[in-house]
Amino acid sequence: MPISQRIKTPGFYALLAATVLFLMFTRSIGGTFGFFLLFGIPLFCMTPLPPYASQGEKIWQYAYLATCTIIFLFLILPILIIIPLSFNAEPYFSFTEGMMRLDPEAYSFRWYADIFRFGMTAPDAVEGWWTDMWNNATWIRAFRNSFFLAIASTALATFLGTLAALGLSRPEMPYRSAITSLLISPMIVPLVITATGMFFFYGGTMQGVIPGYPDGLAKTYLGLVLAHTTLGVPFVIITVTATLSGFDRSLIRASQSMGANGFTTFFKVIMPLILPGMISGALFAFITSLDEVVAVIFMADVDQRTIPRQMFSGLREQISPTILAVATILVLMSIMLLTTVELLRRRSEKLRGLSPG
Amino acid sequence: MTDAAQSSDVLVAYDGTPLKQQLAKTTRRMKFRALLLTMPLVLFIIVSFVLPIGDMLFRSLHNPTGSNVAPNFAEAIQKWDGEDYPSDDIIKIFVEDLATARKNREVGKTVGNLATRVNYEIPGSRSLFTKTARRAGKITEGPYLDALIKIDKKWENKNVWVTLKRVTRDYTLSFYLAATDRKYDENESIVRADELYRIYLPILWKTIWLSALITFLCFIIAYPVAYLLSTLPLRTSNLLMILVLLPFWTSLLVRTSAWIAMLQKEGILNNVFVYLGFIGDEHRIQMIYNATGTVISMVHILLPFMILPLYSVMKTIPPSYMRAAKSMGASNFLAFRRVYFPQTIPGIAAGVLLVFILAIGYYITPALVGGNDGLLISNLIANHIQRTLNWSLGAALGTILLVVVLVLYWIYNKLVGVDNLKFG
């Protein structure tokens, strides 16, 4: 339907009338504009109903679309709103008047600079700035810890998880559901319970068990990597098993009939086909580790604080917009990861001939 | 009948063994191989996850503080039958143990540890032990009970001795009793705790009630959105799906800080309300650091876990069913209620159970936006592990929560199956 026709509907006139009423009631131009957009979008999106549809059905469909618009805004707005907030020139978690007027003075990069400067011994020094920043800046250390933990635990979780998923997806696998439930359970059991158990076991019971770790695994990177691997494994299992469920097992027999051994079959036949699933699973494990904070709260030392741990204490102790700057970086990173996973999913579906494109 | 006819009944493999046997052997080997592939991870999970949780269960029942601090007394008092007072010999051992413990500086073996342990059972009795231990060295001759009573009148109270007998046993149920707001009275029978100390059951009920509320709100919000996504053309729905998946991929801490920015008193939502003239500047609504804040942010955080299962079920329902119902004269509402809704129940069950399971154990968000009023059971557990250091009580509370979650997980497994868990 062309736009001119879409505008000449009773619903559109009703919206105009409601907007005028809204303007008279609140006397704010910006608010009225928002109101018009909020209720105009669903109106614009309304699909033409069959001619026999009653007026009531049209109103019902409009109300339904308006509700959905509001829900989508509820989902996405809080995440997007922190991006402009992180450029605040004032140390507040709220828009200042200058920001509302789009005054360039009210915006600044100071909180992004603060990511590098906070915790440095001499933030204004010229000589040795880089080493000082790399070694002492609190947030930089948190980024380093987070990425080290995430990469190490993702590698371990993907390796073990893929191996187990290969076994679980074989038709002859015994005790499949029991073992699957066990391997998924780290995702289901509340993190506080897992972290409490690990705190007791790694920190107390394991004292003196592992050579080189006389005080157990609490406050060590090894303990944290183990914890994060455990929490990431369910995601790898779920994603890789899902990919393998659409896998044509006769390909394995075909490869074997041509004389390939187990390794060749895996690397030349199975892996190229399940690679998208493996990468998705690895990305899930990566983001889980990057986002995990409870185990870190319970087990990590001050030096081992990760990004979310640092945000947690920041939100509890001194709320500063630096948190919003870090959050913005994390949002951009999750957008990138999400795009990758979506592309992989489509590729995997195309490979298996499941998707129209 | 000849031999040849008999052997043709039993098919044999190339090496002469019966084919059935050979097949069983091969199947066994294949099963073993499949199992072998999962073994590394199973062993890993057992060491890194199952044993720690087992450790927690063990610690909720096992607390050796009493026998660590006063080892000889712990053994002696068990002979006391609970009538009258313990004999003077036993009390002599107690005084000696206290004097030894006072000199001890090893963690877990000091008088303070014992005092804390007894204090869990008899609130306000801490000073009794520290005070007595300071003077225990000076008691040289009996009757020891009288000497103790001279130091503090409280030793006359038989309940102190009954409690001492109880806390010096290594295995105890008292932390489970404490976690369910109960305690032992003087006659070793289980009674409810004093009104003032009943805190855990109310928090547990509140956790369940808030989780149910969050689950219900998620369901109400997710249903229309999932329906919209499932009916739109694939290209549009994939685009809108990003709006659902982005929160899912965004860090929990990011979303929680976003809600702090939205909901606080000087926050965006209040600013918008004031700007639009809904409320006056001095009547800003307190929406955070209370249960409201916890509910709003947790609904936002858990919403994708409801939308995704609903969507995957709704996508499989052919739209022609609704049209068929309407063509036979059903109204829109009736067609929805009798034809569409029943088919979405598997998705509802999956989403509701998943959200409820995740909500009941939530820790981070309530800790940051819950204030005092929006705290959940997990926050109490963390508090006992990190602040009050009453580890056994924290472990007992954790075990209770674990049992609740495992029962729900079992139901989920029966109804939905873990194989059907998917993301995106």
* Extents of the domains making up chain B: 3-61, 65-172, 201-420
User: Is A300 near chain B, with CB under 8 Å?
Assistant: no
Q: Say how many Å lie between the first and final Cα of chain A, rounded.
A: 26
Calculate ∠ Cα B223-B226-B229, nearest 5°: 150
pLDDT digits (tens, 9 = 90+) for B178-193: 898 888 887 778 888 8
Residue-level pLDDT at B154? 84
With a cut of 60, say whether residue A356 has pLDDT above it.
no
Give me the pLDDT at residue B423, please: 61
Confidence at residue B280, expressed as pLDDT on a 0 to 100 scale = 81
CB atoms within 10 A of CB B164: 24
| Region A168-178 average pLDDT | 89
pLDDT classification of B275: cutoffs 50, 70, 90: confident
Q: How far is residue A322's CA from residue A302's CA, in Å, rounded to a whole number?
A: 19
Interface contact A241-B368, CB threshold 8 A: no
Task: Write out pLDDT tens, residues A19-43.
Answer: 888 888 777 777 787 777 777 777 7
Is 90 exceeded by the pLDDT of residue B109? Answer: no
Answer whether A330 sits within 8 Å of B418, measured CB to CB: no
Binning pLDDT at 50, 70 and 90, where does residue A357 land? very low
Q: And the tokens for B242?
A: 């990003």
Higher-scoring residue by pLDDT: A82, A319: A82
B192 to chain A nearest CA, in Å? 26
Q: List the domain boundaries for chain A.
A: 3-85, 138-351
A294 → chain B, closest CA residue:
B364
Of B41, B51, B361, the CB nearest to A164: B41
Looking at residue A355, its pLDDT comes to 46
The pLDDT of residue A332 is 93
Which of A93, A179, A334 minimises the CB distance to B264? A93
Could you say which of 3.40.140.10, 1.10.3720.10, 3.40.1790.10, 2.60.40.420 is the CATH number of the domain covering A138-351? Answer: 1.10.3720.10
Query: d(Cα B119, Cα B390) in Å, to the nearest integer?
Result: 11
List C-alpha distances in Å: B407 to B363, B411, B413: 20, 6, 10
Residue A234 — very low, low, confident or very high, per pLDDT cuts 50/70/90?
very high
Query: In Å, how far is B123's CA from the nearest CA of chain A?
Result: 25
Query: Which chain A residues in 100-119 lie under 8 Å from chain B, judged by CB atoms?
Result: none
Token pair recorded at residue B115: 């005092």
CB contact under 8 A, A186 and B38: no
Residues 6+ apart with CB under 8 A from B418: A177, A180, A181, A184, B412
Closest CA to A240 of B46, B422, B143: B422
Counting residues of chain B whose pLDDT is more than 90, the rounded percentage is: 39
SS (H, E, C) A140-202: HHHHHHHHHHHHHHHHHHHHHHHHHHHHHCCCCCCCHHHHHHHHHHHHHCCHHHHHHHHHHHH
Q: Indicate which of B316, B419, B420 best probes the interface with A, i.e. most A CBs within 10 Å of its own CB.
A: B419
Question: Per CATH, is B201-420 categorized as 1.10.3720.10?
Answer: yes
> How does the average pLDDT of chain A come out, rounded?
86
Contact between A196 and B385 using a beta-carbon 8 Å cutoff:
yes
**pLDDT tens digit sequence for A73-110:** 999 999 998 998 899 888 888 888 888 788 888 888 88
For the record, the structure tokens of B33 come out as: 């191989």
Nearest to A79 among B55, B246, B303 (CB): B246
